Homo-oligomer: A and B are copies of this chain.
Amino acid sequence: YRRIHKIPDNLGTAVTVQQMVFGNLGPSSGTGIAFSRSPSTGEKRLYGEFMFQAQGEDIVAGIRTPDPLYTLKDKKPGLLEDLQRNATILENHYKDVQDIEFTVEEGNLYLLQTRAAKRTAQAGIKIAVELAEEGIISKEEALLRIEPSYIRPLLKHTIDPNGCVDVIANGLGASSGAATGIIVFDPEEAERHHRTGQPAILVRSETTPEDIHGMVASDGILTTRGGVTSHAAVVARDLGKPCVVGCESIKINYGQKQLHVNDLTLIEGDTITICGSSGRVIRGEIPLVAPVFSREFLTLLHWADEFKTMGVYCSVNSPKEARISRSMGAEGVGLCRTEQMFMEPHRMPYVTKMILARNIWERKQALSNLIPMQKEDFLGIFRSMEGKKVNVRLLDPPLHEFLPSQEALALEIERARVAMNVKEMEEKEKLLKRIKILHESNPAFGHRGCRMGITYPEIYEIQARIIAYAALELKKEKVYVYPQIIVPLLSHSNEMKEVRETVTKALEEVFAAMGDRIEIPIGAFLEIPRACITAHKIANYADFFIFGTNDLTSSAFAFSRDDAEGKYLAYYLDHKVLPENPFVVLDQEGVGELISIGINKGKKVKPGLSIGICGEHTSDPSSVEFMQENHMEFISCLPHLVPAGKIAAAQAAIKAKMLQNKKDTD
């Protein structure tokens, strides 16, 4: 718990001394938990549970399922009103929704403890916005109360209410959002699957603090006992993970790694889906629908736009993603990856041909087949980003992803040989030979990005032409868009110079042919340490900079991400060799320092240089604060994470302003 919440090990625990009261003295005694607003939906009404003839532990442990709070009404008139009055006083005092433990001893109400309540993301938003609207807190405070990563489930697709689903059990929805994954019965197993990227649902009769690491590693949590205030429910809400509790019809057999529900038996590894809002447990994977934003969420995003100073752009691979991003409020495209467009099944053969081409003619021919498809893509993306900047990254294909496996091909050749199918054998042998020539020992650090664009200039030439044609075509329709071209994988300023020349020449040819022009700035993608170190040289040929934090992390650490995450990174994190996964939380000490060096060197040559940033780190708040400090023009997020990015950007701006105000008054 301390590790996850980053509480230092050397902080002590406070001890409070208070009068002893008993909830188990008789039928008019009991104990309960009350929330001043619903921690599940945020609704403004007293919410909670009560258990007669019980002490506090009985209710928290989730051993007996308690009654809803309103049942108190029938037992003792005035008690509920009393509780409500106290809850309001406490909420106004602490300026936040309260989680109150109370005991009734022979009809008398005693408050044992109050604290800010853990809540679901949905509730958190509603509560923050309403508190601000009620004047209890400011808009800034409301924004600062939202942990961007915890609202991610709200941005995800949820279970289609009209879909055909196979509900096998119903429990209590304790933390909203839907999750699909394979069944695992112990936390270690959950961790193991997490490392391989396999989503898992942790299924337990109840959870204890020893299970936290497994809960962190799971995509969802399902318990057979306990209520919405049990350990599992509280922790799941805190972690922002979907959770269903008290699903008593399910019986777990830990020894055999099975669960039984009615006549059905599921084993570890079977897929289930849980819905943390409705409490449904569903067999298999099921269709999901796009999220719908509440009024409060939209209000919050509106406030975020008011306060943030950085643009929140999106990183997209297709027109569809561009449309989703725009609808999510994206203010531009920070990164449009062109190689991903090629990964679609019906386009792959042409790309493979292009890569296998033995000479410029074969390559140009293969490319020509891709022209109409790429143009359609650009038209679609530009159209949905009307009036906005669209940063298009020139092709950066990881070669090996487009080529057949050598092992499989060798097997096919061997089989053709045994079957004496000479023609097939010879053809495949020729292909294998070519693939072997193209084979790279370390493809992530190989003949990619501008290295490919420089050795085969016809590729970037054609891409530049398509971008220009698409933009001019839309201009004729009076759809205005601001495309920018990014050059990937730069390590030396001469690479930028070379590509700039190729691209400029291609653009000018299109402008001349079309009798019209449009400004298309050409910028540098900084994702290699040497590029940061020599940014002052690169800036001479670049109209803007964009940092790519994924690859920069990889090259600064000399970590091949695929190998690191599968092999030693989990060990490093467990043993605190690394404080955080640097692919998730920006490593400010190393990678951040390289970014700062790059910015300083670039701005020395071009003081007004515009600087943006892309990468997974744009969805981590501490990383976004770093980006704010470094005055990025924009951060670029995944399409569905744009709203989270806006909140993070607003928080970073508010914090920066607070710090500035503090400095000014000091």
Q: Identify the A interface with B (CB < 8 A).
A: 400, 406-407, 410-411, 414-415, 418, 440-447, 451-452, 454-455, 489, 491-492, 494-495, 498, 527-530, 533-534, 537, 551, 554-560, 562-564, 567-568, 571-572, 575-578, 587, 589-591, 593-594
Contacts and interface: CB of A to CB of B under 8 A. Distances in A.
A454 B558 contact: no
Contacts of A560: 440-446
Contacts of A527: 558
Q: How many copies does the complex hold?
A: 2
Contacts of A578: 492, 494
Contacts of A594: 529, 533
Nearest to A440: B563
- List the 4 closest pairs (A to B, CB-CB), nearest first: A442-B560, A529-B529, A445-B560, A446-B563
Q: Which of A440, A445, A593 is packed against the most chain B CB atoms within 10 Å?
A: A445
10 contacts: A400-B441, A407-B410, A441-B560, A442-B562, A443-B560, A444-B445, A445-B560, A492-B578, A551-B558, A555-B555
A570 to B, nearest CB: 10
Contacts of A551: 558
Contacts of A593: 533-534
Nearest to A445: B560
A567 B443 contact: no
Nearest to A591: B530
A558 B491 contact: yes
Nearest to A553: B530
B489 A558 contact: yes
Contact of A557 (B407, B528, B591): B528
A576 B445 contact: no
Contacts of A556: 491, 528-530, 533
Given A440-B562, A447-B563, A528-B557, 6 more contacts: A414-B415, A440-B567, A442-B560, A442-B562, A447-B568, A530-B587
Contact of A455 (B489, B533, B568, B590): B568
Given A441-B443, A445-B558, A494-B577, A454 B414 contact: no
A537 B494 contact: no
Nearest to A444: B442
Contact of A577 (B406, B446, B492, B555): B492
Contacts of A442: 441-445, 560, 562-563
